Amino acid sequence: MLPRLGFGYTSLTMSIPAKFQQALARGLVALRSPAARLRRAASKVILLFALVSALAAAATPPNSPPLTVLVFGGSGQLGSLVARAALADGHKVSVFARESSNMQRLQGLPVTVIRGDVRESADVERALKSQSFDVVVDALGRSESGVEFYEQAARHITRWAAPTGVKHIIHHGSVGVAESRAAYPPKLFPERSPLFVSKEAAEKRVRESGVTYTIIRNAVLRPLPRGQADRAQLLEDPLTFGAVSREGVARLTVQCFRDPRCSNRTFHAIDAGIQYR
């Protein structure tokens, strides 16, 4: 199973370049040898220098150019937070929204707004051909549409993603589909079963799109309580069930833009500090 991705990752050594890990290992072996006891003070200085150098290198991100990102559902509660998090990370963001969508959550933000209806394939084609997008995020909510909306939207997005050169699709889904059904409360499942059928079909479309994908499921989305730390994590265990903040899911979404551990994987997002009920 993948490590518990809080995206602080699992251990310090995962972020330390290999050459520094090797230097640290040699230093530790040397410190245990009898001859090294006479030079312990000097060795500690050398070891400390190697550690500090490694940490400095790990803390300095590569000079990567910003990504072009299109957020479907970018005017909504989750999508607008994804847009904000992507902008904060230095990316160029466009949002796809209906003519009737309230754009208040994006007020004052430097985003490009593309108007259209995701239920219309021609609108999605036009949006994806408006420029070259590195990442497409599906953070759609169905509003007044029927449950078939999710499969329909995914069908149109995936129809045009590969032909227009999209490199990564991040799809927000629901706990309760496919193998995660066992995690969902049995009393609640029957009434939501039609919704899960559509969402499972949407996931299938994403996996079969030919584009690198990440599926992030959630069970219960909550606002992050005031003053509470964001401890959202991505877990691969399909039986994971719990609440998570929209802010946490947005943060994890953006961190998956460049993280290869997110490629072609399905996660459940959860924050143990947020109450389910």
Q: Kindly state whether residues 145 and 79 are assigned to the same domain.
A: yes
Per residue in 93-143, pLDDT (tens digit) is: 999 999 989 899 999 999 999 999 999 999 999 999 999 999 999 999 876
Rounded to whole angstroms, how far apart are CA atoms 167 and 218? 23
Q: Kindly state whether residues 16 and 93 are assigned to the same domain.
A: no
Pairing of strands 233-235, 265-270: antiparallel
Q: Kindly state whether residues 104 and 176 are assigned to the same domain.
A: yes
243 burial level (CB within 10 Å; 0-12, 13-18, 19+): buried
Query: Contact 27/47 with Cβ under 8 angstroms?
Result: yes
- Residue segments in the chain with a per-residue pLDDT below the cut of 50: 1-4, 7-16, 20-21, 24, 27-31, 35-36, 38, 41-60
Q: Kindly state whether residues 31 and 95 are assigned to the same domain.
A: no
At 10 the pLDDT is 31
At 1 the pLDDT is 40
Q: Kindly state whether residues 149 and 80 are assigned to the same domain.
A: yes
Rounded to whole angstroms, how far apart are CA atoms 96 and 14? 36
Q: Kindly state whether residues 49 and 141 are assigned to the same domain.
A: no
Per residue in 110-123, pLDDT (tens digit) is: 999 999 999 999 99
Question: What percent of the residues of the chain are helix, what percent strand, and what percent coil, each to the nearest 5?
Answer: 40, 20, 40
Indicate whether 1 belongs to any domain: no
Pairing of strands 243-245, 112-115: unpaired
Q: Kindly state whether residues 32 and 131 are assigned to the same domain.
A: no
Residue type at position 12: L
Write out 198-255 in H/E/C secondary structure: HHHHHHHHHHCCCCEEEEEEECEEECCCCCCCCCCEEECCCCCCCEEEHHHHHHHHHH
Rounded to whole angstroms, how far apart are CA atoms 130 and 160? 12
Q: Kindly state whether residues 45 and 105 are assigned to the same domain.
A: no
At 39 the pLDDT is 52
Indicate whether 228 belongs to any domain: yes
Q: Kindly state whether residues 122 and 76 are assigned to the same domain.
A: yes
Q: Kindly state whether residues 54 and 73 are assigned to the same domain.
A: no
At 188 the pLDDT is 84
DSSP state of 112: E
At 62 the pLDDT is 58
- What single string gives the DSSP state of each residue in 59-110? HS---PPPPEEEEETTTSHHHHHHHHHHHHTT-EEEEEE-TT---GGGTT--
Q: Kindly state whether residues 185 and 261 are assigned to the same domain.
A: yes
Indicate whether 205 belongs to any domain: yes
Indicate whether 276 belongs to any domain: no
40-59 and 18-32 helices, crossing angle to 10°: 160
Indicate whether 30 belongs to any domain: yes
Q: What is the domain extent for residue 40? A: 12-59
At 268 the pLDDT is 96
Indicate whether 187 belongs to any domain: yes
CATH number at residue 197: 3.40.50.720
Question: Is the Cα torsion angle 27, 31, 36, 40 positive or negative in sign?
Answer: positive
Indicate whether 182 belongs to any domain: yes
Q: Kindly state whether residues 40 and 129 are assigned to the same domain.
A: no
